[in-house]
Chains A and B, each alone.
Chain A
């Protein structure tokens, strides 16, 4: 544990932060090996090291869920995990959801039900929604609303997001 002592320790911390650790993370089926600083968040590793920019960052308090991905099959906010914690894990990002040029049924449901507008929360919302149906394949409207409460959207008022998820569930 590194104690942060304010301004004066910034230089020393920077030197510690310069240390790198080896990680091996499978992202969308491809194994990636790399050296990361211990403080590197998984979302930054995905975006900046792997170069997959579909996973978005919308806050600095793990509140918005824009960075939701799947780690070992579970929907998680990739800003709450250090890259080193994902060592050995299998990660799916939004880019890994469509297969062979065909969108995942959840993506199709979002399109058909106008479940997105600006699209910034969308990758995280879709990943969270897929995770939700994995756990609860036939949720009620209430359960969808509760299940997505960790993902914020500013455009849609959620109405069509909820509709999309229910449509995807009933299409299963």
Chain B
């Protein structure tokens, strides 16, 4: 047997091309709906056309007559199929109201898209045809669509709860009792702003798809799902269906994007599993885009009231925040927790005293449930504080960048204990901001703006910025416990050196576009001194990767990647004992460099990892008590969140005659600590930024007053195309995180967090000479034009 010689590698930080790409580029990759499953029955779900209605009767007899239709079930038929209602894992307060939620509505529908009946047929066409043949008699009820209307309880959706309020979650941090109120009394400057975070549709390009494959005699069932969370799904489906957990296997094949929308336990997953067991046949389902907009979770949906108090220098002395959160019709997996994830970030990157008063009241509406969407709570918070800083600067009549500089947490203050008690690991906000300003040529743009924005000009130039912090890398389990989250925030990794010195990394993260296979191989390669192509990364199948908490919240690298590094350390530790035994020296006399153990001071006494791996496999000559094989498993609970940060700037030109906004330049300076693969980091930033731009300019789940979704497909919901968005100039600073050995922070959500306020502050800046001080999102041409008209008319009064 040839044993490859280890070569020293220095792979971390290089722009290694992604190993994921060839199968995806050639059509070889298999997404869930690409799987060929003989004998599968197709599920289709009849959905409510009403936002709020009683189900008077359902007649399925015509549907049953359609050729190919095997069965039709209503919510009542399946009432006994569930061991528990659909799960919400985040009861944020002990008295949180959570209405029972089942995969099919039983006697009342609560949003357009709520499941009413399920059809099983031998082919997809028949199952969809049958939906048209089901007769449902509804008694429409008044829909609750508006958040403030919901809060009034004039019309209560879930009668048994007696209210539309799900919970109120306060976070009051005061150095001395009453100091917030006092700060506002004493403040030289005060601002009070109201912002609306419109509902967004995550719109992963791959609609959800599911296949449940039972093995009737063994009782086992495999769920293939386009999900971000195979591990969580396994636990939750077992509990909801009452199946012993060890009998459930969940596999996420290639997954075509998630952005939080596949971080959930969905009705269709439970229906496929329940019906597959009932019929002893595989059951599959694929979502149509129109279903996706209605029956997959939406994001954002908040009304924010923000108040800042500041002294004569503009130093912020207190922050007060009141939020109304839109939960939609039911609580999905982490719906109520989303506003809490933002709760700690309404002070942004600024050094504020312990004078912070936050409260969020969340309400039910007759709309699609909301849940985590890229950034989840943190883009909302960042938007609010950054827009509020601009408002404060206007109030003080000073430059907003100058105001930010006066308030930034300074480099030397890190690690910084925030008002909340959380510790910000590392940062240098001024450095990132100044770099962004240089890259933007801020002085030059300002000079151009002076020339261009003269009275009567119709093309106005504006510069916007936002400095952000992201609390990510979810999360230290104890902190999650303090927030009443039902699970932990650790991640698991196994690293196994095979007899031929090839390496298997098994991770609990579950990628859907992030390139984990490439990045995780790079980490193991660097640690173990093997070539990256000799590292295989296995994931997203609970039969292979038994432990894990999956991918969301920019956690995969700072938690899952670090777990891999730690597992490599454990492997090296064990290998060292074997090397010491075989080289007849003390373990502490050995050094491990470039994949080879050698005795310090006598480099010729050396053993490559390859020899040890083979030796651990043969087990012929191992130290006393040493187990054969070279592998290690780690469950890593991070000691802290990771706190990436940065400053984004952009330059826009607003056409005052048409309201059109054109982004001329977009600069993103992000600091996510050490970068494993800068190519992938940049890609994450690009994509995130465009999702943020999309919130600012294009996207909104528009509902009419009856709760009908008016933007229910991709020709009505404006996901930007290449021609709608600018090239993005990325820069970065590197401030390693001191809390993990790789010095890394998450980056998946950063772009989205930075972008929306950057664009909106730019638009307002462009229009400031017209008296515009606020602008609703999305800043569509119509909205911009109307806002200009209102401001200029108001000015002429």
A contact residues vs B (CB 8 Å cutoff): 6-7, 10-11, 13-14, 17-18, 37, 47, 51-64, 66, 93-95, 97-98, 103, 107, 110-112, 114, 116-123, 126, 141, 144-146, 148-162
Contact = CB atoms under 8 A, between A and B. Distances in A.
Interface string B2-22: 000000000000000110111
- The 10 A-B pairs of least Cβ separation, nearest first, read A54-B27, A120-B256, A119-B24, A118-B513, A157-B690, A53-B34, A63-B714, A157-B686, A117-B513, A94-B27
Given A37-B125, A63-B715, A120-B204, 14 more contacts: A14-B67, A18-B67, A56-B205, A57-B207, A58-B714, A61-B289, A111-B21, A116-B21, A119-B29, A120-B257, A122-B24, A122-B25, A154-B719, A160-B683
A110 B25 CA distance: 8
A147 to B, nearest CB: 8
B782 to A, nearest CB: 21
Contacts of A63: 713-715
Contact of B21 (A62, A110, A152): A110
Contact of B207 (A47, A58, A95, A141): A58
Contact of B686 (A57, A59, A149, A156): A156
Contacts of A156: 683, 686-687
Chain B interface size, under 10 / 10 to 19 / 20 to 34 / 35 or more: 35 or more
Interface stretch (B265-273, B304-312, B723-731): B723-731
B631 interface: no
B713 A95 contact: no
Contacts of A59: 289, 713-714
A58 B727 contact: no
B726 to A, nearest CB: 9
Contacts of B446: none
A118 B21 contact: no
A54 B679 contact: no
B513 A155 contact: yes
Contact of B205 (A141, A145, A154): A154
Contacts of A55: 27
11 contacts: A57-B33, A58-B289, A103-B26, A111-B17, A111-B25, A118-B255, A118-B256, A120-B31, A154-B203, A154-B204, A157-B690
A145 B722 contact: yes
B696 to A, nearest CB: 14
A99 B724 CA distance: 34
A52 B26 CA distance: 11
Contacts of B66: 10-11, 14
Given A11-B62, A14-B66, A161 B715 contact: no
Interface of B: 17-18, 20-31, 33-34, 36, 62, 65-67, 125-126, 129, 132-133, 135, 203-207, 254-257, 259, 288-290, 512-515, 679-680, 682-683, 686-691, 713-715, 719, 721-725, 727-728, 751
A155 B257 contact: yes
Contacts of A98: 26
Given A95-B27, A117-B683, A11 B65 contact: yes
Contacts of A58: 205-207, 289, 714
Contacts of A60: 288-290, 713
Contacts of A150: 721
A7 B722 contact: no
Nearest to A106: B25
Contacts of B682: 114, 160
Contacts of B728: 157, 159
Nearest to B21: A111
Contacts of B27: 52-55, 93-95, 123
A114 B18 contact: yes
Contacts of B28: 54, 95
B286 to A, nearest CB: 8
Contact of A119 (B20, B690, B715): B20
Given A14-B67, A121-B205, A160-B686, A152 B135 contact: no
Given A10-B133, A55-B27, A158-B722, A152 B714 contact: yes
